[in-house]
Each structure stands twice: as C-alpha cells, then as structure tokens.
Amino acid sequence: MSEHHHDHNHAHSANKKVLFISFLIITSYMFVEAVGGYMTNSLALLSDAGHMLSDAVSLGIALLAFTLGERAANHSKTYGYKRFEVLAAFFNGVTLILIALFIFVEAIDRFANPPEVATTGMLVISSIGLAVNILVAWIMMRGGDTEDNLNMRGAYLHVISDMLGSIGAIIAALLIMFFGWGWADPLASVIVAALVLRSGFYVSKASLHVLMEGTPQNVKVNDVIKTMEQTNGVKGLHDLHIWSITSGLNAFSCHIVVDNKMTIAESEKLLRKVEHDLLHQNIHHVTIQLETANHQHDHSILCTAKAEAPDAHAHHHH
C-alpha cells in the first residue's frame, strides 16, 4: 500500500510541476495571440486564442485542483478534497463546449462577408503558436501522467487540439496569401471549434461518469465478482459498489457471507487476501462487511436499498 501511495504522490508532484510550467507558457502566448488576432482581424487566430484561454483556464483549474486535492480529509469532508479534481475537469469540458458554440456563430457571419485579414502577421503569429503548443505538449508527455489522470488528460487534450488550431490558422493564412480565399479564415476557425467541441464533450462525459459514482473504466466488475467468489472462505457476496473518488483512486465496498464459526483473526486474513487481489484490479480502497448465512439482506449482488423519507427512520425499529 505504501509503495502505491509513494508512486501516487510522486506522479502528483510531477503533474503539478508540468502543469505549472505549461500554464505559464500558454498564458503568456495567449495574450500575444489574442492581440495578434485582433490586429490582423483573423477569426482563426482569435478562435485559437480563445482556445488557448480555455487551455490556460483549464491548466489553472487543474493546478488548483491538485493543490486543493492534497488538503487532508476532515470531519466535514472525509475523503478530503480529491473530488475537486473531477469537478474541475467537468467545468473545463463545459467551458470548451461553450467556446466552440461561440466560434461557430461568429464564423457563420464571416462566411457571408469575409473581412480583410492581415495575412503576414497571421502567419507569423500562428507559426509561433504551433511551436509553443508542440513545446507544451512535449513537456506534458515527458513529465506528466496524461494516460490515467483525468485532470491531466483533460489539460493535455486541450493542448493537442490547440496545436491543430495553430496548423489550421497557418494553412488559412497561406491560402489567403496565395489564392485570396477569404473564406479560409472562418473555415479554419470552424475546424478549430469542432476539435474544441469534441474534447469538451469527452472531458465532460468522463468526469460526469465519476460524479455519478459510475464504475471506473479500468475496473471489470465481472472479474472483481469472480475474484471475490473464488476466494477461499467466501460463501456469497451482495450489496456491491465500485466507484472512483478521483482519477487513479478507486473504491470498493460489499458484504460477504462467511462461515459463522470463523474467528476474527481468520476473517482478517481473508480480508488481507481480498485487498491484495483487488489491488491488482485497480481497486485501492476496500471496505467489506462480513456476515453469516442468516443475514437479513437480499441476495442480489448489486444494492437494492432505497433512500428513506427524511423522518421515516425515526419510526423505524430494527
């Protein structure tokens, strides 16, 4: 357990450092691009700057989430603030969707009457933008956990689609320069918006799944049930729950039926084995209630308990 905890903390501080460096680079360049987009009258640049703003916000929130997530658990929040990371990712996803819709609306207007665009400035700024994004993506790939951490992955996806946005702006600038195709600018911004929409949808969906206490993507429920049922001493199980507290921290609870002659020492040994087996199935926090065969619950594996009316338990005698 301690080794896992150490890895988790190590990845955590690496993620924070990477996010901080990326945040500084992206925020500084966002201002350059926004001013450049305004001066050159390019929607592709402005939409890319809008995307970079969402990047900067997302990285800032991700950083804040990591920092808040480190705060210790207390009486009012027994899991600590780890969930904040997922809330941050959700907020991020929704912001992206809104930015994308805004760009679509603006672009439709520009297709009808393409304005004059200062192409040389647009080309220079978008090329630097591409270089900045490649640098940040490389820093994130090398130093951060972009595979398993939802928060980190959200921020990384932002940067990747941003990179494509810069490529779009470069191509648009070249098309306007060589062929005078004014519509290339709003077209590039629409492509950026589509990418923004896609990553926004993905991040919102994944974080909403966690907020709804959904089963983690990296846990196979049937395998977990099989592991439990095949454990020596377990006669049955019911009332099973698997959920994520935050990225990389999955929790599990259930009731298991054991022999009523089992001693506390034997049951502890059984629980250690179960905890060990479940750790290999990406479950880090296990809570198990032991019961004998004459328990009062029904036998369905998933929980069938219903929430009671607020005053019901006052009249309810066990």
Q: What whole-number percentage of the chain has pLDDT above 90?
A: 4
Q: Are 142 and 168 in contact (CB under 8 A)?
A: no
pLDDT digits (tens, 9 = 90+) for 67-123: 776 777 777 877 777 777 788 778 878 888 888 888 888 888 888 777 777 788 888
CATH number at residue 57: 1.20.1510.10
b (16+ CB within 10 A) / e for 238-262: bbbebbbbbbbbbbbebbbbbeeee
Eight-state DSSP code of residue 261: T
Give the structural domain span for 72: 2-211
Dist. CA 87–CA 211, nearest whole Å = 8
Residues 205 and 239 occupy one common structural domain? no
| Cβ proximity of 247 and 150 under 8 Å | yes
Q: Would you place residue 272 in the very low, low, confident or very high pLDDT band (cuts 50, 70, 90)?
A: very high
Tens digits of residue pLDDT in 225-256: 888 888 888 888 888 899 888 777 889 999 99
Query: What is the spatial distance between Cα 58 and Cα 162, in angstroms, rounded to a whole number?
Result: 13
Domain boundary among 188, 211, 234: 211
Distance CA 127, CA 232 (A): 63
**64 part of a folded domain:** yes
3-state helix, strand, coil in the chain (%, to 5): 65, 10, 25
Question: Among 160, 190, 211, where does a domain finish?
Answer: 211
Q: Are residues 250 and 273 in the same domain?
A: yes
